[in-house]
Structure 1
Amino acid sequence: MRRLQPPGWPEPRGYANGMLAEGRLVFVGGQIGWDSRGVFAPDLAGQVRQALLNIVAVLAEADAKPEHVARLTWFITDREDYLARQKEIGAAYRDVMGRHFPAMAVVQVVALVEAEAKVEIEATAVV
């Protein structure tokens, strides 16, 4: 997998502008911040960590790892909370995904289907 960085563009922080990859595609549906018992982490950073752990668990079913992820799309319910907690969210991300930063988008939504969910993350990986 290779990062795509157009000449002269500012270096992105914590994501890539694009990724080039070849192989088997793995599509991971939106994962939220609850554990296998359906219990939510209490705060946004905790829910991000759990959602990413859930993604890693699904990837493992395809013999894939975090470094195979080419794209993540995050749906958050509170932009201000996200911006205020970037340090904790970044730490949670690195703890689960390492220093692999694929192409990403973050979108604020009015609500998620599960009322307690603060974030939902979907992934595309290439193995």
Structure 2
Amino acid sequence: MAHRLLNPPDLARPPGFSHGAAGSGQTLYVSGQVGNDAQGRLVSDDLVEQFDRALGNVLTVVRAAGGAVEDIVKINLLVVDPREYTARGSAIGTAYRKHMGRHFPAMTLAGVSGLFDERAKVEIEAVAMLP
């Protein structure tokens, strides 16, 4: 792990993310991933199932570059319906921990009016610092 997660005491303790990350090494930028299977088909119309697959797809790219979960320093979540995301928070948290464990990098959650695939409900981008 070639980075440090930053949570300064002068800021409120973040729930499920870090305020910042500082690192060195090779930077990996993971393009936005939706809940597509290996054939490019959306796995479901369900937000949680899409989130689970999209995050798994992010980790597939990180591992292909020789990285690990702990190397991820930033995640951007783009969701079509922030209210649904909030309402399904417990199930989304379970899916998150399945892939990420207790690793909480810097994160942004943004509501968007739509994604390229009209059926997609979530898209996940990431940045990793590879050792």
* TM-score of the alignment, normalized to the shorter chain, above 0.5: yes
CA RMSD, Structure 1 to Structure 2 (Å): 1.0
Q: Distance in 1 between matches of 2:98 and 2:45?
A: 18
Question: Which consecutive segments of 4 or more residues in structure 1 shift more than 2 A?
Answer: 39-42
Q: How does 1:64-83 map to 2 (within 5 A)?
A: 64-83=67-86
Aligned to 2:38: 36
Q: Distance in 1 between matches of 2:63 and 2:123?
A: 19
Post-superposition Cα deviations, 1:23-80, rounded to whole Å, max 9, x if no partner, equal 1111100000111121322311111110011011111111011111000001100011
Q: Distance in 2 between matches of 1:75 and 1:83?
A: 13
TM-score, structure 2 as length reference: 0.93
Q: Name the SS for the 2:44 alignment partner.
A: coil
- How much has 1:7 moved relative to structure 2? 2.3
Matched, 1:87 2:90: yes
Equivalent pairs, count: 127
Q: Distance in 1 between matches of 2:10 and 2:127?
A: 27
- How much has 1:120 moved relative to structure 2? 0.4
Contact 1:28 1:59 in 2 (8 A): yes
Post-superposition Cα deviations, 1:89-126, rounded to whole Å, max 9, x if no partner, equal 01000001111100000100000000110000100000
Aligned to 2:114: 111
Identity %: 39
Can you give the 5+ residue segments of structure 2 that lack an aligned partner in the other structure? Answer: none
Q: Name the SS for the 1:82 alignment partner.
A: helix
Contact 2:36 2:53 in 1 (8 A): yes
Aligned to 1:23: 25
Q: Distance in 1 between matches of 2:91 and 2:45?
A: 13
Aligned to 2:105: 102
The equivalent position to 2:16 in structure 1, one of 14, 17, 21, is 14
Matched, 1:48 2:36: no
Can you give the 5+ residue segments of structure 1 that lack an aligned partner in the other structure? Answer: none
Q: Give the partner amino acid of 2:6.
A: L
Q: Name the SS for the 2:107 alignment partner.
A: strand
Q: Give the partner amino acid of 1:63.
A: G
Q: Give the partner amino acid of 2:44.
A: A
